Chains A and B, each alone.
Chain A
């Protein structure tokens, strides 16, 4: 592994593993995730692929510590992920966000410094630097005083990415980041995710546009309540496996949509 340049890493050049072992999540309606196991590491861009109700969002939330786990374990850098970790950032679907909320771009990005700044302490110089860096990296400096509804979809997605950067997160969990974006915004976001991966971050994204998977991601996880396949996109993204994932009598989709 070539040494990575991402400055948020305490041990640059190491392989930081995210390991999911036999993970199950149970909803009142039944099992949402059933014995998921996979391992990936810093510097990868992973697509979660599966039909609606396959458990993509649930898997992301479980890794983010938002979803109670019925069985199994999640390790990040060899440590059990118990509740939340500053190193893991979760980016919700854009449709689930209240864009009318009276907050500016900078306000959202500043939230990433909460783990450092705490309940009421004013932001320190290093907090301000991190916020400034994050805004600059996502090209949001000119927009930082805008209210968040006065942004395009692509810009809104970048605000969340900037918040994750301000948080100095290593792992970025994105729920359908490309949905609702126009074509130029999709291309730009794909490039941004590639850049973040190159810096040594680990990107995991729920993704539904099968045509673009090969351009964006290194690895893919085919999900339908169970992990049907995991590995490099070239190996996993095959007709037979995809057919199995999206096969019609979709009981998983009906039960848990």
Chain B
């Protein structure tokens, strides 16, 4: 019965692609989310995810819509907004968060206005909230390669990255190239964000890039569990959400983020160690 419920959607090729993509994107985002949580930079990453939209709009406007134009446009926009906010904060009294907020909302507004006036087949909703059912084989391969590259880079640099996140100054005194790693990590996060656009869109991408590891963070003190548990949770929850969405006729993008949010709520309430409803601490021990 449950097996039928799980296998029935798999009979349609567009579902197979969507589930596979959700698994890949969830896995990569879940792994990367551990870095976002440890770096405590969720809001910054959220701003950058919004900055992707105007990049796509400009790229489509200038070069027309194909797989790589949207990708490159998004990449340049994120870099432009990220570095731009740094430049504004350094050359004025404003801090970087304020500068970032001004730049990304302005760019996002421009992107919305531009996208509405372009004749593209994709609906604006798909950029905002994702359309994983509309995935083509080519998109799946792009997602696959981005996932492979991001995961192998992050695992290869795991040790120095963790040292940088734990204590950047101590890491520097041990010869870790702290500044370069910070830039690299941000670049990888941006690429991972772009890869998740197809699934959840730029409005919801942040949920996929924070919630998995944040949930595991409430359950464990082990770094390895945080990374691999985060990716497992991200992958499984995303794939499950696609199946649930298909059965209940819900939009898949929001369903993915909603499923992750529900799992987080359970961990938040019932985590044996850090949950809200945990047993009161035993003062005798």
Point out residues on A near B: beta carbons under 8 Å: 61, 64-66, 84, 86, 88-92, 97-98, 101-104, 107-108, 111-112, 114-115, 117, 119-120, 147, 163, 167
Contacts and interface: CB of A to CB of B under 8 A. Distances in A.
The 7 nearest A-B residue pairs measured at CB: A147-B221, A90-B173, A114-B174, A64-B173, A102-B221, A102-B223, A84-B173
Contacts of A163: 170
A104 B220 CA distance: 12
Given A102-B226, A115-B174, 14 more contacts: A65-B173, A84-B172, A84-B173, A84-B175, A88-B173, A102-B220, A102-B223, A103-B166, A111-B174, A114-B163, A114-B174, A114-B175, A117-B159, A163-B170
B188 to A, nearest CB: 15
A92 B170 contact: yes
A116 to B, nearest CB: 10
Given A103-B223, A111-B163, A114-B159, A92 B169 contact: yes
Contact of B173 (A89, A98, A108, A117): A89
Nearest to A119: B160
A97 B223 contact: no
Contacts of A117: 159
A31 B222 CA distance: 43
Nearest to B158: A120
B73 to A, nearest CB: 32
B104 interface: no
B221 A66 contact: no
Contacts of B163: 111, 114
B157 A119 contact: yes
Chain A interface main SS type = mixed
Interface in B165-188: 165-167, 169-176
A66 B174 CA distance: 11
B156 interface: yes
A112 B226 CA distance: 22
A103 B227 CA distance: 12
B170 A111 contact: yes
A163 B170 CA distance: 10
25 contacts: A64-B173, A66-B172, A84-B173, A84-B175, A88-B173, A90-B169, A90-B173, A92-B167, A92-B170, A97-B167, A98-B167, A101-B38, A101-B165, A102-B222, A103-B223, A107-B223, A108-B166, A111-B171, A114-B160, A114-B175, A115-B174, A115-B175, A117-B159, A119-B156, A120-B158
